[in-house]
Structure 1
């Protein structure tokens, strides 16, 4: 509990209490979907004074919101497409995140744009970047810096001499998307939202022609209940169309899934002080610094198969290697890859046959009285999307609905963060940790670091690193279960931490010790621990096998062969 008397933790006790609330109370708004837009909508509604429930069939950020490029950015390439309003809006949101809402989670990151054409390209890019540096009130990152051929190579010695004629460095921002989304959901809970994962919507309630709530199943126990609400928001991303069918109504728009694949390689494989952005024949390729790694992506291709588990193919990986190797003096190989992940962008269908050209604008539709759907958009603009969705359901909620105030509501952990950064050395000494470790924790939890470290008061061993994954402390695993709604091993290894993409073993080598730490909070016996480990190992094996397949169909068949951690999930029946 916090000083307002509202819960901040999302542990087993809170989950049990929240499940009871679902069936016993009536809500103003039920939000379906625990991605960034759904969590943002729950926070927006709660801070307007509405009684809110957020339900998610899998885990927080289980879909697109844990598999992005991990950037808060305006979208430099959208300037070329003349989508000025989208870029301005995104840059305004980037500034809010850096300064007020999530300075502990969102950080500036530099990119080198290698110039490949003499005379015209530098002034052309400079004009675009001048707009980019000033639109939306951007003030918290440095402006563009122009570099000669020699200067660009000093910044990025990994580049071939003939890969560029000069360069321009500019700044954007980045964040751990899954951690940001989970923090957003916890902030919604802090302001009174009832947040439940592993809670699948199986149908809609009706009063005459109105949607009056949802039927849900607890995926962990199989128990079912009805949740009464004045309004429902469908914020399920690539599942939007499926939920529309389940509601019995026709959607006002269609959502098209575009697969984006990223690979993760060690930092020492590309010697550079800065990230990079490279032009491709279709779009752009990012090389993004990520701790002791680089994230390289992304692809942009249609996906028509399993929405829960998009699979990267050998072709996808070869595409990324081919494009990055055109500029690297020492080429990357498959052996350099530590992690691979594939995500689906929920694009609004119909604008163009090429997914990379589909609009990143979002759309909100009142599908039926009491039901609003929101889809499209960019991770960066989730807050605007959420506000628009709550505005749209205001007509279905009795009484006056206040205006959105989330531009004034810092996420949990932001309060006091900057002071704690200045006190990192003292904190480190007090807990017997290296100051680097404290700063790493502060950039993951902000001022909630005290809760994480407090877990070690009775068991100092929790301040030791996770076996085979030394970037993380054992206390973080326990905290993921006691405060952050983690219910399964993959929740911790793939989302609360990023072990699944940051280590060549992809979490397999630390699966059992992590499961045993989780068992302390979740009450697992040895049989349950063994089951969780086996399911996770099969997931990793299926992903590895899918990444050797030549096409989507073959990759999907391999990936789909792995069992679900949440084995009571069912396909919706319209």
Structure 2
């Protein structure tokens, strides 16, 4: 997905009529693009910002069945998620999804039979479906056994623990890999392409009006079916159809076709925040799952860090850049410190991120009680909306919405994405088995090869070939030595990165994995990207300035006492794609 490929795909979007046009480059949209393209349909995907720039890069980074949903008796949802977890671990993305162990600490006598029954059912459901391969069965541990695996647990109330396994993923890299896989099947995909209008012929949707956020040029994209996989922006689709004017297929201004409440999906946004602290702050070799009065709290090993999350609160402010307040951060610290021997301090926090869950909503439910089921609706002929669900079950959501679209496309074969390994999966196991030989052949350490294989799978060899051609690209990045310069070069060359923010926050995790949050690395990354994308000095400095302003705004928002003031502080940094800088450009919708 080079800059040249983007230009070619934009030209295709101007000229072709596609079978399927997808709005939204998150996990569901990218998954739908792969599902449709692998069936042989012609596919276009447009995304206002970057792949996974919304919810899909700000999750707990788990591929899991949803242990807590058993308590809510949502057995079909758990079974479905466990099946998908097994597919991802073993067949579709073994290079991106890997097992991670968790402890359920037990502090009261009745918790062992209660939680033990739940975890046993969790494992049994996984095994019964044939998707538990590669994950050990749960184990009951004594107090001493629990403390051996997690010495940082406070012992005064600990009675023991239960260990079980789930899956872990870099959510943003996974979405990117989905998009690359779809592109390999011929899908036309472009980021920085914002939908600004719906095109219809009478009462049928036939395409969308798109603004290229890089050039500000607008053009129409035609399609036989349009799918909106827009997450927390789903309600805006109905408003765009029913409450605003747009162009018909003949080019005339159209009037709203309905009044009152627009049909479609009603989605509520629930904010969840996460903290990153250094691995040295907490002594432990496994993750933790804890109950709070409002949500489930995870402490998750993440390379040289721990991820601590999450909260679960309604959010009605800016959806593009949800902000974590000091109250959110204090909430997590207060609850995690109740089980740790050595409390985590504010000064220990290196990274903070906030995301919004798109929950299917009724009129009065609290966000923590809303379903994680998904739904597909067709509010207007030719337009499908898909929303809800959870990251783990994205493939099912994608299959369901393409099945719905296929009713308009006679002869469309059934989905086969349960048999389609993602880019980098083929050859991964062989490369992992021979990683020492690969390291010797390319003159790097085994640790470097392991790092690349876990991020790119078999495509890691493409990164190593860049280093072979230019040894300077084999140098670690300043301020983020676990990443190589070649990874930045590759992000701009083959992974569709257009801006500095794309690389520091999603192609890598430098923005949350370093105490400086990427500010010390930004100049070097801008130079590497600029060499590939042809940036001049002015562009390079503008990209750096945008990024530094963004980090400053995020830090300021995290000092604010509530959502409203935190949101105002975060919005002090304009989006790098120009939202707010141009009077004609408002906040991104899709």
Matching residue of 1:273: 285
Matching residue of 2:347: 335
CA contact (8 A) 1:27 1:228 kept: yes
Matching residue of 2:539: 528
Matching residue of 1:570: 586
Question: Is the alpha carbon distance of 1:109 and 1:38 closer, same or farther for their aligned partners in structure 2, counting shifts above 3 Å?
Answer: same
Q: Deviations over 1:304-343 (max 9, x none)?
A: 0000000000000000000010011110000000100000
Instruction: Give 1:48 deviation, angstroms.
Output: 1.1
Question: In the alignment, is residue 24 of structure 1 matched against residue 15 of structure 2?
Answer: yes
Q: CA–CA distance in 2 between the matches of 1:511 and 1:283?
A: 35
Q: Secondary structure at the match of 2:576?
A: coil
Matching residue of 2:167: 173
Matching residue of 1:559: 570
Q: CA–CA distance in 2 between the matches of 1:510 and 1:121?
A: 47
Q: Secondary structure at the match of 1:508?
A: coil
CA contact (8 A) 2:320 2:588 kept: no
Matching residue of 1:12: 3
Q: CA–CA distance in 2 between the matches of 1:92 and 1:461?
A: 44
Matching residue of 1:394: 406
The 10-residue stretch of structure 1 (15-24 or 449-458) with the greater mean CA deviation from structure 2: 449-458
CA contact (8 A) 2:21 2:227 kept: yes
Matching residue of 1:471: 482
Question: In the alignment, is residue 550 of structure 1 matched against residue 566 of structure 2?
Answer: no
Question: In the alignment, is residue 96 of structure 1 matched against residue 87 of structure 2?
Answer: yes
Instruction: Give 1:571 deviation, angstroms.
Output: 4.0
The 10-residue stretch of structure 1 (57-66 or 450-459) with the greater mean CA deviation from structure 2: 450-459
CA contact (8 A) 2:205 2:225 kept: yes
Q: CA–CA distance in 1 between the matches of 2:89 and 2:76?
A: 20
Q: Secondary structure at the match of 2:468?
A: coil
The 10-residue stretch of structure 1 (174-183 or 564-573) with the greater mean CA deviation from structure 2: 564-573
Matching residue of 1:132: 122
Q: 2:389 aligns with which of 377, 399, 424?
A: 377
Q: 2:108 aligns with which of 107, 117, 127?
A: 117
Matching residue of 2:250: none
The 10-residue stretch of structure 1 (385-394 or 55-64) with the greater mean CA deviation from structure 2: 385-394
Q: How does 1:281-292 map to 2 (within 5 A)?
A: 281-292=293-304
Q: 1:439 aligns with which of 443, 450, 454?
A: 450
Computed over aligned residues only, the root mean square deviation of the Cα atoms, in angstroms, reads: 1.3
Instruction: Give 1:456 deviation, angstroms.
Output: 2.2
Instruction: Give 1:224 deviation, angstroms.
Output: 1.2
Q: 1:107 aligns with which of 98, 102, 105?
A: 98
CA contact (8 A) 1:73 1:91 kept: yes
Q: Secondary structure at the match of 2:307?
A: strand
Q: CA–CA distance in 1 between the matches of 2:292 and 2:162?
A: 17
CA contact (8 A) 2:194 2:588 kept: no
Q: Secondary structure at the match of 2:483?
A: strand
Give the alignment's TM-score, normalised by structure 2. 0.94
Instruction: Give 1:521 deviation, angstroms.
Output: 1.1
Matching residue of 2:204: 210
Matching residue of 1:74: 65
Instruction: Give 1:352 deviation, angstroms.
Output: 5.0
Q: Deviations over 1:201-220 (max 9, x none)?
A: 11111112100011101100
Q: CA–CA distance in 2 between the matches of 1:251 and 1:46?
A: 28
Q: How does 1:144-293 map to 2 (within 5 A)?
A: 144-248=138-242, 250-293=262-305
Q: CA–CA distance in 2 between the matches of 1:251 and 1:560?
A: 31
Q: 1:459 aligns with which of 458, 466, 470?
A: 470
Q: Deviations over 1:21-67 (max 9, x none)?
A: 00011100000000000000000011111100011000000000000
Instruction: Give 1:283 deviation, angstroms.
Output: 2.2
The 10-residue stretch of structure 1 (46-55 or 125-134) with the greater mean CA deviation from structure 2: 125-134
Q: CA–CA distance in 2 between the matches of 1:87 and 1:265?
A: 30
Instruction: Give 1:163 deviation, angstroms.
Output: 3.4
Matching residue of 1:297: 309
The 10-residue stretch of structure 1 (207-216 or 290-299) with the greater mean CA deviation from structure 2: 207-216
Q: 1:40 aligns with which of 6, 31, 52?
A: 31
Q: CA–CA distance in 2 between the matches of 1:114 and 1:207?
A: 59
Question: In the alignment, is residue 488 of structure 1 matched against residue 494 of structure 2?
Answer: no
Matching residue of 2:78: 87
Matching residue of 2:552: 541
Q: CA–CA distance in 1 between the matches of 2:381 and 2:436?
A: 56
Which ranges in structure 1 are unaligned for 5 or more consecutive residues? 1-9
Instruction: Give 1:257 deviation, angstroms.
Output: 0.4
CA contact (8 A) 2:442 2:468 kept: no
Instruction: Give 1:573 deviation, angstroms.
Output: 9.5
Q: CA–CA distance in 1 between the matches of 2:320 and 2:205?
A: 26
Question: Is the alpha carbon distance of 1:405 and 1:352 closer, same or farther for their aligned partners in structure 2, counting shifts above 3 Å?
Answer: farther
The 10-residue stretch of structure 1 (348-357 or 151-160) with the greater mean CA deviation from structure 2: 348-357
CA contact (8 A) 1:428 1:438 kept: yes
CA contact (8 A) 2:21 2:226 kept: yes
Q: CA–CA distance in 2 between the matches of 1:273 and 1:516?
A: 38
Q: CA–CA distance in 1 between the matches of 2:588 and 2:24?
A: 14
Q: CA–CA distance in 2 between the matches of 1:563 and 1:213?
A: 29
Q: CA–CA distance in 2 between the matches of 1:554 and 1:415?
A: 48
